[in-house]
Copies of this chain bind each other. A is one copy, B any other.
Amino acid sequence: MATGRTHRPATRSRGIPEATVARLPLYLRALTALSERSVPTVSSEELAAAAGVNSAKLRKDFSYLGSYGTRGVGYDVEYLVYQISRELGLTQDWPVVIVGIGNLGAALANYGGFASRGFRVAALIDADPSMAGKPVAGIPVQHSDELETIVRENGVHIGVIATPAGAAQEVCDRLVAAGVTSILNFAPTVLSVPDGVDVRKVDLSIELQILAFHEQRKAGEEAAARTAAGVPAPAATDATTAADGAKRTSATDQGPDGDVPAVMPA
């Protein structure tokens, strides 16, 4: 899980568990694919397989939304698409601003999965004056000075932060002050926000580190036992497909970290 919610301690917002909400987009994606193939109905078993979850879980999730299935038949695809979209609030238009137009910000601006879900990129904002006016994904980049104006005039409630870690909190504060109440944070920092503001974070390197943990485990316990002694990491061992692999001895003395995504400052 690349993310985790901040504030609001597990308040299940009106009966729908948080875990269920997190799976609704998954179901929606699978259902959309079925819809495009003009499949009229789908059983919980089939849909669960397509979404990569347990069928009992899926049925329980849907039961929180109401009884939208027909026993002996399954669920009506189109109807379910509508119900989930409505529940997630995707039937309305969500203007979004992206702050920090570096590599990642540009990737997000170009991401097709937004527009098709009711999200509209209202503006791209960057602190670099030389980027002002330059079109990215067909949208001209605007300077940070315009942030407050843009947010207010477009009624933006959702902001995406793709700046370096150092700039994230300040950008966050300004977004919140201007009226944003939901933030998707790609900067590797913990943002502090007032109550009532939701923050979700995506940290690319965290995911990789979790994978590394399990990968190390798979590599066998003997290697772990060896480094568990005082030995300061005797280079990679590669029990299985050991090729040459340019090895490095340690990762701690690796120069300045900074821990920033490769994006332009904002």
Q: Which residues of B contact A213 (CB under 8 A)?
A: 13, 21, 24, 87-89
Indicate if A39 sits at the interface (CB-CB under 8 A). Answer: no
Is A262 within 8 A of B112, CB to CB? yes
Q: Which residues of B contact A56 (CB under 8 A)?
A: none
Q: Which residues of B contact A228 (CB under 8 A)?
A: 86
Q: Which residues of B contact A214 (CB under 8 A)?
A: 13, 182, 198
Is B1 within 8 A of A206, CB to CB? no
**Interface of A toward B, CB cutoff 8 Å:** 1-4, 6, 13-14, 21-22, 24-26, 28-30, 32-33, 36, 50-52, 81-82, 85-96, 102-104, 106-108, 110-120, 137, 152-155, 157-158, 160, 179, 181-184, 188, 190, 196, 198, 200, 202-219, 221, 227-228, 232-233, 235-238, 240-248, 250-252, 254-255, 257-263
Is B152 within 8 A of A241, CB to CB? yes
Is B211 within 8 A of A182, CB to CB? yes
B13, B50, B208, B259: the one contacting A112 at CB < 8 Å is: B259
